[in-house]
Amino acid sequence: MKSQDSLALEDQFGAKNYKPLDVVLTRGEGIWVWDVEGRRYMDCLSAYSAVNQGHCHPKILKTLIEQSQKLTLVSRAFCHDQLGLFYKEICEITRSHTALPMNSGAEAVETAIKAVRKWGYCVKKVPPGQAEIIVCSNNFHGRTLTIISFSSEPQYREGYEPHTPGFKMIPFGDAEALRAAITPNTVAFLVEPIQGEGGVIIPPAGYFKTARELCNKHNVMLVLDEIQTGLGRTGKILAEEHEGIEADLTLVGKALSGGFYPVSAVLSNREVLGVFKPGDHGSTFGGNPLACAVARTALKVLVEEGMIENSAVMGARLLDGLKQIKSPHIKEVRGRGLMIGIELHPEAGGARRFCEALREKDLLCKETHKHVLRIAPPLVIKAHEIDWALERLESALTQN
């Protein structure tokens, strides 16, 4: 089937909740993907960081095949031989005490919200129905009804009322605003280390150290959404390491399976997840044998193949190269590791047209918040491939 035929079918039968670039992909390997006509592109989005290990990593694929031939699902009604090993290995690599596996990132966020609310009532003794969670403007934590209730993006909220109460919004990166927002009923501060969907926004140095101190002082749980930033994307296993802090709850997903299968997890101290008793929370597919086996190998290759360190080195090379580009369209280049945003001036005409120009140069990326190009290739990218990408980015960004 040709690209135009596939696109026509999508248009005829599919819901219109996405606006992808007009490219129809059929194969992927490492940092490269191919369309149905056989044209090769460099993937500089990595499925929003779900494919950190590269497309179709052979070791993860091998695990997927082998486990799918043995046991895929038993629900949590029974134990299986992959879950305990998954718990042990993910807790060791992230220095966590305990873990609760789910499927999607949004499910992990919902799980954390439930956990900190129950902790607030059972342990902190917040009056019934009064628990507050502080969040940041410009956030993106998913698209469920509860999560969009504390979004500051009108498109995500409008038409889905009534919204879920219990959230207080403050500016991102403003420690004094956090200090002022905390009350005796505050149970958690939910925040992204870097706002990815918001435009790759990095908070001021020291922000998270202060946030950690404030949460400690007021007995508030610090919840870091590392679904995009975690598992090597920023050059560390978790982005919290850049400021030398540890969250009370950490949310991971996306790259936890290397792009093969939906897997997420809430990582926590024992105090918070300890409030869940049998029957309080669960998921038929959460923590299934196939998911656990795939996640174990996805974590293993990140470490054993040096992808985290490569992200730091190649990210620095890419960021430095982008900052050398002389373009009237570029307002700012910012990033950490291989999570980079190129913010354009409003008069540049939006980032979408540059994504389309780059597609014609065999490089795929995506716009966010209209004026930001998000550049996030798989963590297996090499130096000569960074230079290849920089040539095309410079060509596209210096055209009229």
Q: Active-site residue numbers?
A: 140, 225, 254
- CA angle centred on 159, ends 155 and 164, rounded to 5°: 95
Beta strand spans in 44-118 (E)? 98-102
Q: Which contacts of 26-35 are long-range, i.e. CB under 8 A and separated by 24 or more positions?
A: 28/55, 28/56, 29/54, 29/55, 29/56, 30/54, 30/55, 30/378, 30/380, 31/55, 31/377, 31/378, 31/380, 31/381, 31/385, 33/364, 35/3
Q: Do 157 and 177 touch, CB atoms closer than 8 A? A: no
State the DSSP string of 181-237.
H--TTEEEEEE-SSBTTTTSB-PPTTHHHHHHHHHHHHT-EEEEE-TTTTTTTTSSS
Angle between helices 58-68 and 289-304 in degrees, nearest 10: 160
Q: Do 30 and 379 touch, CB atoms closer than 8 A? A: no
186 pairs with which residues across the strands? 132
Token pair listed for 26: 């059929």
Token pair listed for 117: 């609310």
Residue that has been written with the tokens 């994504």 in this structure? 355
Q: Which helix (H) or strand (E) holds 43?
A: strand 40-43
Q: Torsion over CA of 34, 40, 42 and 45, rounded to 10 degrees?
A: -30
Q: Do 319 and 340 touch, CB atoms closer than 8 A? A: yes
Cα–Cα distance for residue pair 108/91, rounded to 1 Å: 16
Neighbours of 281 (CB within 10 A): 18
Q: Do 289 and 262 touch, CB atoms closer than 8 A? A: no
Q: Torsion over CA of 240, 243, 249 and 253, rounded to 10 degrees?
A: -10
List of residues 6+ apart from 396 with CB closer than 8 A: 354, 357, 358, 361
